Amino acid sequence: MTDTNRIEITGTGLRCADVVRVARRSASTELGADAVKRAESSYQLAVELGAKRAVYGRTTGVGANRHTVVDPESADHHGLRLLRSHAGGTGEPLPDDAVRAVMAIRLNQLAAGGSGVHPRLLEVLQTALRVGALPHVHSRGAIGTGDLAQLAEIALTLAGELPWAAGDLDPVAISPGDALAFISSNAATLGEAVLAWHDLSRLLAASHVVTALTFCALGGSAEAYSERVHAARPHPGAVRCAAELRRLLAGVAEGRRLQDPFGLRAFPQVQGPALDAAAAVEHVLAIDINAAAENPLIDVETEQAYHHGQFSTAYVALAFDQLRAALHHVAELSTARLGDLVEPDLSGLPPFLAEGPAGSSGIMILEYVAHDALGTLRHAASPVTLGTAVISRGLEDHASFSTHAVRSTVAGTAAYRTVLACELLGAVRALRLSGTQLPDTPLREAFRLADGGLPHIPEDHPLSAEIKQAERLLDRLAVL
């Protein structure tokens, strides 16, 4: 992957960051020649195996129809019937970036060579990504045991039976056996998951910067972030967080207090688990986006078809449940620091950082907004993995609901963005009022960006627009 604008699709080594770049159009894909050869070998083996023995979804029905033998004379029609019957998604359409992520992930999974689909399906997916053709994909219809409805919609679009949402391509034939092989994937959930992981990771990076700004406004003690302190209890996320704060706060003066409130003093211990949870999510996703997880697995090396349960996404669901729980703790600390900023005993500034006549409210309302968003995040953090589903006449008796875990993470991320934006507004206002000299680190650039991007209006005024501006600024702060 030497060309930074082009990502080779080989079935191995695709990174979450690569998917994000394809999804958001900063990079394109190139299907590797070996991947096409691998797919061709898998396809030929699947045809041979289907002529000798029962192969689920190729020579049989699916789900509770698994023992129903398909008439070989109508096998091609069986594939189209399967796609038509399963293309029953509903809800809002997936955003364009999510659809591109789905297509890139499914292309890479097929390139791993375990599905047995005809190589032309890989080539048409690659073409669609290159020319910007996008299927219309509904958001609702998956429970964590395969995104059958969404992928059936994509397959029928490729076959010319459903209209394209953007662009257009000539229809491609669906070979006998291609139908289940193409839709036997969680690529839609994984596409949304990768984008959710990326967006939340950016916010967690911005959290270090915002916390450091609040630290300077409150005259915090950097002793809590000492390398010696964290070497004594070296949880990876906490160590990383403390190192980030040392980088941002290098050269700050001694703190005002012997011990700071928890929002500052315990930040690495609370932010650390969220960083570790995000890293765990990335690890799980990196495995799944490179996985030949189709059921059955057409294994060229052993020349066998293996029936299995790789459609289960318990790893994804549980990883995101943990991430949201950790994020809620991080958000609680942000609201606590906002409370510290409006408290004169801690800030040395007027109550609520007000600048107008006596009784002015300043940024009082930001605490209400932040706690409203925190309440939303609290609900989004509830685990989705405590329930299940029994479907297909009792045969399929477990579901991870990973799709819902991902979408709860998207909702929680949006709520946390608001929480952190409220803290950023408070920190910038406090720094303006106090005239605190910031260390000559990226933190100074962070304040310059925030000071230039947020208006300074001394008198009481509506803060809604400034909250939105602060939310947008967070992505810029994340990369400092």
236, 272 contact by CB (below 8 A):
yes
Helix (H, G, I), strand (E, B) or coil at 14: coil
Residue 74 banded pLDDT, cuts 50, 70, 90: low
The pLDDT score that the predictor gives to residue 2 is 46
Q: Which of 74-88, 200-214, 431-445 has the weakest average pLDDT? A: 74-88
- Residue 194 token pair: 């990768």
Considering the chain, what percentage of its residues have pLDDT values greater than 70?
A: 98
Q: Mind listing the pLDDT tens digit for each residue in 6-23?
A: 999 999 999 999 999 999
The pLDDT score that the predictor gives to residue 65 is 75
Tell the residue number behind the tokens 């092989």, with chain if given. 181
The pLDDT score that the predictor gives to residue 253 is 87
| Count of alpha carbons within 13 angstroms of residue 14, beta-carbon side | 38
Q: Is the pLDDT of residue 1 over 60?
A: no
**Distance linking the first and last C-alpha atoms of the chain:** 25
Q: Which of 137, 143, 142, 139 is nearest to 156 (CA)?
A: 137
Tell the residue number behind the tokens 């000539």, with chain if given. 170
Residue 70 banded pLDDT, cuts 50, 70, 90: confident
Neighbouring residues of 296: CB distance < 8 A, sequence distance ≥ 6:
55, 56, 57, 305, 306, 307, 308
Helix (H, G, I), strand (E, B) or coil at 452: helix
The pLDDT score that the predictor gives to residue 395 is 74
Helix (H, G, I), strand (E, B) or coil at 248: helix
Q: Mind listing the pLDDT tens digit for each residue in 145-165?
A: 999 999 999 999 999 999 999
**DSSP one-letter string for 374-427:** HHHHHHHTS-STT----BTTTTB-----HHHHHHHHHHHHHHHHHHHHHHHHHH
Residue 469 banded pLDDT, cuts 50, 70, 90: very high
CA–CA gap between residue 245 and residue 292 (Å, rounded)? 41
More confident residue, 71 or 77: 77
- Residue 177 token pair: 């056996």
CA–CA gap between residue 387 and residue 367 (Å, rounded)? 34
Tell the residue number behind the tokens 């129809």, with chain if given. 65
Q: Mind listing the pLDDT tens digit for each residue in 339-398?
A: 999 999 999 999 999 998 999 999 999 999 999 999 999 999 999 998 889 888 877 878
Considering the chain, what percentage of its residues have pLDDT values greater than 90?
A: 88
Q: Is the pTM of this model over 0.85?
A: yes
Dmax over CA atoms of the chain, in Å, equals 88
Please, what is the angle between helix 187-218 and helix 267-288, to 10°?
160
CA–CA gap between residue 361 and residue 95 (Å, rounded)? 40
435, 459 contact by CB (below 8 A):
no
213, 424 contact by CB (below 8 A):
yes
Instruction: Read off the pLDDT of each residue in 236-241 and give the average, rounded to a whole number.
Output: 98
**DSSP one-letter string for 292-312:** ---SSEEETTTTEEE---TT-
H or E element in which residue 7 lies: strand 6-9
Q: Mind listing the pLDDT tens digit for each residue in 186-227?
A: 999 999 999 999 999 999 999 999 999 999 999 999 999 999
Q: 253: buried, middle or exposed (CB in 10 Å: 19+, 13-18, 0-12)?
A: exposed
SS (H, E, C) 92-160: EECCHHHHHHHHHHHHHHHHCCCCCCCHHHHHHHHHHHHHCCEECCEEECCCCCCCHHHHHHHHHHHCC
Quote the distance between the C-alpha of residue 130 and its chain's center. 23
Q: Is the pLDDT of residue 129 over 80?
A: yes
Q: For residue 319, what are the CA distances in angstroms to 45, 101, 118, 294, 315?
A: 35, 20, 33, 21, 6
Please, what is the angle between helix 96-111 and helix 119-131, to 10°?
150
Residue 75 banded pLDDT, cuts 50, 70, 90: low
Instruction: Read off the pLDDT of each residue in 95-119 and give the average, rounded to a whole number.
Output: 97
Instruction: Read off the pLDDT of each residue in 82-98 and give the average, rounded to a whole number.
Output: 95
Q: Say how many residues make up the chain.
A: 480
As beta bridge partners, residue 134 has: 166
More confident residue, 75 or 240: 240
